[in-house]
Amino acid sequence: MRALTYHGANDVRVDTVPDPIIKDPDDIILRVTATAICGSDLHLYRGKIPETESGDIFGHEFMGIVEDIGTDVTNLQVGDRVVIPFVIACGSCFFCQHDLFAACETTNTGRGSIINKKGIPPGAALFGYSHLYGGIPGGQADYVRVPKANVGPFKVPTALADDKVLFLSDILPTAWQAVINAEIGQGSSVAIYGAGPVGLLSAACARMLGAQTIFMVDDNDYRLAYARDA
Ligand SMILES: [Zn+2]
Ligand SMILES: [Zn+2]
């Protein structure tokens, strides 16, 4: 298959690599129909994330069609169309049972964030985000292995095009969490720093929750102009 791979700082290439295969009984193999480049991918691209190895496949925002399923997969069938959250969670550890999936204690065999120097267990594994976060091949590829497939993937209706649902993989929930954390409600005034995709989606979420005045802050005029018109 073809996949976007890392070869060192500022050097990524679309290479031919082996197709992924089922490794654990609760894996699926997904044929990727849409994937996005995240702002976070720029840290990887620029070589700023330790334990990113040559040949690593990037990509944590993707969706597609289930191509193959492991023997323990109960929620999905071949042919289902699903969006994959970027966090890989087991669904059964202490944090998963409290719906704190990003803090899953069991999926990441790496060390987690580089600021973690106190032996605190790392958060969940992430797709395509260095060996600090589990070394799981990402979805900027024709195919991807999705571990813990009874937990993360969710089916989406065929009536909605890929570009209407793809952002559920990361940036829309990120934006939603931001406005929830900020306690935006009817009549709120809100300032959003950064008019990129997450900022724009935050504005949309804030507006939906009844924000009255939204200030977009950015030093790129074209992004402010887009935000104004959107
Ligand atoms: Zn992302
Ligand atoms: Zn867990």
Q: How far is the CA of 32 from the centre of ligand 2 (A)?
A: 25
pLDDT number for residue 110: 77
The pTM of the full predicted model, rounded to 2 decimals, is: 0.92
Q: How far is the CA of 149 from the centre of ligand 1 (A)?
A: 19
Ligand nearest to the CA of 58: 1
Q: How far is the CA of 227 from the centre of ligand 2 (A)?
A: 37
CATH topology of domain 173-229: Rossmann fold (3.40.50)
pLDDT number for residue 165: 97
Per-residue 3-state assignment (H helix, E strand, C coil) for 141-196: ECEEEECCCCCCCEECCCCCCHHHHHHHHCHHHHHHHHHHHCCCCCCCEEEEECCC
Distances in Å between the Cα of 80 and the Cα atoms of 116, 143, 199, 215 are 38, 15, 31, 40
Ligand nearest to the CA of 60: 1
**Res 115 pLDDT > 60:** no
- CATH code: domain 2-166 is 3.90.180.10
pLDDT number for residue 160: 95
CA distance 129 to 54: 13
Domain locations in the chain?
A: 2-166, 173-229
Ligand nearest to the CA of 197: 1
CA distance 59 to 45: 11
Q: How far is the CA of 121 from the centre of ligand 2 (A)?
A: 12
Confidence of residue 74 (pLDDT cuts 50, 70, 90): very high
Provide φ and ψ at 88, rounded to 5°: -100, 115
pLDDT digits (tens, 9 = 90+) for 1-27: 999 999 999 999 999 999 999 999 999
